[in-house]
Structure formats: C-alpha cells, structure tokens
C-alpha cells in the first residue's frame, strides 16, 4: 500500500515560464486521473495543486465505488489505501423518535473485484497523484492557479499561478479545480443564476473508536465495513446524513441545501449533534472522540446544472463540471470525477495527436462522457436531485413512512388490526401528504430509476 504525503511530492517547477502539452488544475481524483492518462499517452503534463500535497484539504464522506478504477489501475484493490470494504449498505428514514432502515449486506462485496471501500482523502488523493507522477506527470504542489492565459483569438493557452512569474503555457488546460470552479467561471462556461440552489454544504466529523467497538456495533469483522445514508435527520432542511466506518474511526455528517441552511439559521454542528443523539445512532458512536471536523460544498444540481464542458484549449471535469451524483441512495462524486478526468485526459491526448486543440478537436471528450456512466447516469437520473431535496421528501415523507411502519408493527389488542389502506391514509394525513403529490413523486422516482 502506498501512502503518499507531503514528503512524496515529486517535482516542483522553478522556471519562470514553462511549457507543457497539458496543464491540469487540481490534484483531486479528476485531476490525477486526467494527468495519468495524458502522461500514459506520452505527453508532458503538469498537475497543479494548491494544497501542500494532494488531498491536504479535500473533504468527502468516505466511500469510493472503485469499478471505474478497473480501467485506470488494473487490480487497483491490491494497491489502493483502503480503510474498509463496504459489505453493508443501509438507507435509514428518520424522524426525531423513529428510524426505519433498509439494511443490505453481501459478502460478494468483500472480495475482488469489490464494490465500495472507505478511504481517507489524504491517502486516496495522494495515491492517485503518485500514480500520475509515476507515469511521468509533474506535480506542482502549494501553487494556486490564479487565471487563464489566452491567445489573441481567445483560446486558452495556459494558466497563471501565484508563484512569481509562474505562467504555465499548454496546448490544453484541464480544469479539475472542484466545486464552483473558478477557471470554468473565468472561461465563461457556467450559465449564470441559481448557483446557490444547486449547492449543498457537507459537514463531517471523524470520531475515533476502537476497532473492536466498530466491529461489534456494526456487526462486521476483518476489513468489512458499513455505509449508512439517512433521510429526515436535518430538521426539514433539504439534505441528509451519512455514517461510514473506517478501520478505527467513523465518519458522520450531514449534507445541507445551501439556501435551506441559510434560511433556517441553524448551525450544521447543531444538526450533527442532534444526529449523534438520535436513539438509532447514539449507541453506534458512543465514546467516539472527535479527531477531525471539516466542511465543503457539493455540486448537487446534476445534469441540468452542468457548465459547458469544452472550450478552445480547455476541458472541465469532475466537481468543476458539477458531475457529483446526489440522487437519494447515491452520493457519488469520486468515481464520476475519476471517469471524467480519465476521458478528459484521453481527449486531450487525442487532440494533441491530431494537432487540433480547438473545441472541435476536443469534442471527443463529450462523446466519451456520453457513452460512459458519467453522462448516461446523470442524464437518466436528472430529475432525482430535485426530488430528494424537495420539501415533501424532507419534511413529509420520512414521518409518513415511519408512521406507516409503526402502525404495521404495533400490536394494539384488544383493538382489531387496521388494514394497510387505513394505515396509509392515516399516516399520509397526519404528515400532510397529498395523494396527488405522492403519485407524482412516485412516478418521478420510478421514471428516474427505470
């Protein structure tokens, strides 16, 4: 297992103006995958990262679905810095006093080629960047890209950095600078308006817990681990919660719609504290000592909120292109970033080979994305982010579902047992759910998932 950190930083560019075939901005999963593919194709590539090492400040919940790595790193599971393999996935619908959990486990996911894994970002991002460096990419850490360089016709021909005389010129710039991409904005690729509605704030605590306690409480052993997503734990603010197991810590947090959280005037840490006190969660994390607190924005607008992906001399990938998929049972950004970065790297190499780095020459990027899960999944599930973040899904349905199941399981002898129809009607009425909304949302959900 490779654990790359600050000491493993490989190359620092000192020259005043340096020319590369490709400059990749941001050494997150998208950037490292892009740089890896460009380097493998035999072109020179600089991977510029503002942090002192890749992943230094990057935040996520903690689960990576690694199958896209099959294409990038054969037998990746033998090398990736994994905490635990996810063999249990659960979705929990909650009210302050109730919790209904759909809990699935399979040992199939605990052996190669695996399904999901928990991993710390500092480990994962450093490992991915190191793969790019091994293939020949030049990593340029502790360097902020501050702007684009353009030729007289407006095509992007490089970047400006915060280093004195730190211009880097390139045939293609790949912007992988994460959510709210400053570079995509500067290039005019974002459509204006409504940005806050498409953003959520993810807030996470990491709690240290002994390995034995995790295994006992989550009913796992060895390297097996658990991924729990929650709905109804954010006081009606659009969003949800998560709880993931690492080797000897757990990650717990909430994801909150930005406009909702600012209107509610509630601090995210209050919501996490409330979640940690919930009777379904408290026993799992009891005694856990906070070792990390972090927060980051997530682009949850999905397909409809994506910017232009291709410009003359420029591509945009990963969160920078709003490619994080947040559709209820999925919160997947890393594998979409890896896929998009990989295709961006390939498209850049193909354009360089053909001697045409205009938007037209780079169009292969869009084709590859369309043919792959990256845009296929986003297009297919384009209505789900809005549905998941809707008021009804957040404020009405969790209570309705929990009341319905409580009614089914409750034994009220000597009263006769109520029928399902009565229970459904009662739980819908008590929770302010109208039938026509239920049918419409059910239809949207089914259509999205078909």
Ligand X SMILES: Cc1cc2nc3c(=O)[nH]c(=O)nc-3n(C[C@H](O)[C@H](O)[C@H](O)COP(=O)(O)OP(=O)(O)OC[C@H]3O[C@@H](n4cnc5c(N)ncnc54)[C@H](O)[C@@H]3O)c2cc1C
Residues that bind ligand X (CB under 6 A): 25-31, 48-51, 57-64, 144-145, 176-178, 182, 202, 204, 253, 296, 298, 318-320, 324, 331-335, 337
Q: Closest approach of Cβ 200 to ligand X, in Å?
A: 8
What's phi and psi for 415, nearest 5 deg?
A: -70, 140
Nearer to ligand X, 145 or 404 (CB): 145
Cβ-Cβ contacts under 8 Å for 176 (sequence gap 6 or more): 24, 25, 26, 27, 28, 30, 31, 34, 316, 317, 318, 320, 337, 341, 344
Is residue 275 within 8 Å of residue 288, measured between CB atoms?
no
Nearer to ligand X, 285 or 423 (CB): 285
Angle at 135 between CA 111 and CA 374, to 5 degrees: 55
Nearer to ligand X, 176 or 424 (CB): 176
Q: CA nearest 398: which of 88, 97, 90?
A: 97
Where does residue 42 fall: left (phi above 0), alpha (psi -120 to 50 degrees), or beta otherwise? left
* CB hemisphere CA count around 274 (13 angstroms): 17
Q: Closest approach of Cβ 19 to ligand X, in Å?
A: 19
Cβ-Cβ contacts under 8 Å for 301 (sequence gap 6 or more): 197, 198, 199, 322, 385
* Residue 67: Cβ-neighbour burial (10 angstroms; 0-12, 13-18, 19+): middle
Q: Closest approach of Cβ 17 to ligand X, in Å?
A: 17
Coil vs helix vs strand at 258: helix
Nearer to ligand X, 61 or 301 (CB): 61
Torsion of CA 45, 373, 295, 300, to 10 degrees: 120
Nearer to ligand X, 65 or 397 (CB): 65
Q: Closest approach of Cβ 374 to ligand X, in Å?
A: 12
Cβ-Cβ contacts under 8 Å for 440 (sequence gap 6 or more): none
Which tokens is 265 given? Answer: 């005037």
Give the residue nearest to ligand X (CB).
333
Nearer to ligand X, 223 or 425 (CB): 223
Nearer to ligand X, 178 or 398 (CB): 178
Is residue 48 within 8 Å of residue 338, measured between CB atoms?
no
Nearer to ligand X, 240 or 361 (CB): 240
Q: Closest approach of Cβ 296 to ligand X, in Å?
A: 4
Q: Closest approach of Cβ 394 to ligand X, in Å?
A: 18
Q: Closest approach of Cβ 444 to ligand X, in Å?
A: 24
- Cα(37)–Cα(29) distance, rounded to whole angstroms? 12
Nearer to ligand X, 25 or 131 (CB): 25
Q: Closest approach of Cβ 201 to ligand X, in Å?
A: 8
- Cα(187)–Cα(320) distance, rounded to whole angstroms? 12
Q: Closest approach of Cβ 410 to ligand X, in Å?
A: 35
């Amino acid at each position: 297992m490779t654990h790359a950190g600050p000491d493993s930083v490989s190359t620092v560019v000192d020259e005043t103006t340096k020319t590369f075939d490709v400059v990749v901005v941001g050494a997150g999963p998208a950037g490292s995958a892009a740089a890896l593919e460009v380097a493998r194709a035999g072109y020179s590539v600089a991977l510029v990262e503002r942090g002192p090492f890749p992943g230094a400040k990057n935040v996520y919940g903690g689960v990576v679905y690694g199958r896209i790595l099959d294409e990038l790193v054969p037998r990746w599971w033998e090398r990736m810095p994994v905490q635990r393999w996810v063999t249990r996935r659960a979705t929990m619908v909650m009210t302050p006093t109730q919790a209904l959990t759909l809990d699935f486990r399979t040992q199939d996911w605990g052996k190669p080629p695996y399904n999901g894994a928990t991993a710390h970002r500092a480990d994962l991002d450093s490992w991915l960047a190191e793969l790019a460096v091994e293939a020949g990419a030049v990593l340029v850490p502790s360097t902020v890209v501050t702007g684009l360089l353009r030729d007289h016709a407006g095509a992007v021909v490089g970047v400006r950095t915060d280093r004195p005389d730190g211009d880097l010129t390139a045939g293609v710039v790949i912007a992988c600078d994460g959510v709210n991409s400053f570079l995509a904005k500067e290039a005019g690729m974002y459509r204006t308006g409504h940005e806050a509605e498409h953003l959520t704030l993810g807030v996470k605590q990491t709690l240290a817990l002994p390995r034995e306690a995790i295994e006992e409480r989550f009913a796992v052993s060895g390297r097996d681990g658990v991924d729990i997503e929650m709905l109804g734990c954010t006081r009606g603010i659009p969003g949800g919660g998560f709880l993931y197991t690492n080797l000897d810590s757990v990650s717990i947090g909430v994801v909150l719609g930005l406009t909702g959280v600012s209107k509610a005037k509630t601090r995210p840490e209050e919501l996490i504290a409330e979640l940690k006190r919930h009777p379904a969660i408290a026993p799992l994390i009891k005694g856990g000592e906070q070792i990390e607190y972090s927060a980051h924005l997530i682009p949850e607008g999905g397909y409809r909120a994506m910017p232009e992906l291709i410009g003359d001399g420029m591509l945009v990938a990963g969160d920078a292109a709003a490619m994080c998929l947040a559709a209820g049972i999925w919160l997947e950004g890393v594998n979409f970033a890896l896929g998009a970065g990989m295709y961006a790297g390939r498209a850049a190499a193909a354009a360089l080979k053909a001697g045409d780095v205009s938007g037209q020459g780079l169009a292969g990027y869009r084709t590859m994305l369309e043919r792959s899960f990256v845009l296929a999944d986003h297009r297919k599930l384009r209505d789900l982010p809005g549905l998941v973040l809707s008021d009804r899904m957040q404020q009405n349905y969790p209570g309705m579902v929990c009341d319905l199941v409580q009614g089914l399981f409750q034994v009220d002898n000597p009263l006769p047992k109520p029928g399902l129809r009565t229970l459904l009607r009662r739980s819908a009425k008590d929770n302010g759910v109208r039938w026509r909304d239920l049918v419409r949302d059910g239809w949207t959900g089914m259509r999205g998932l078909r």
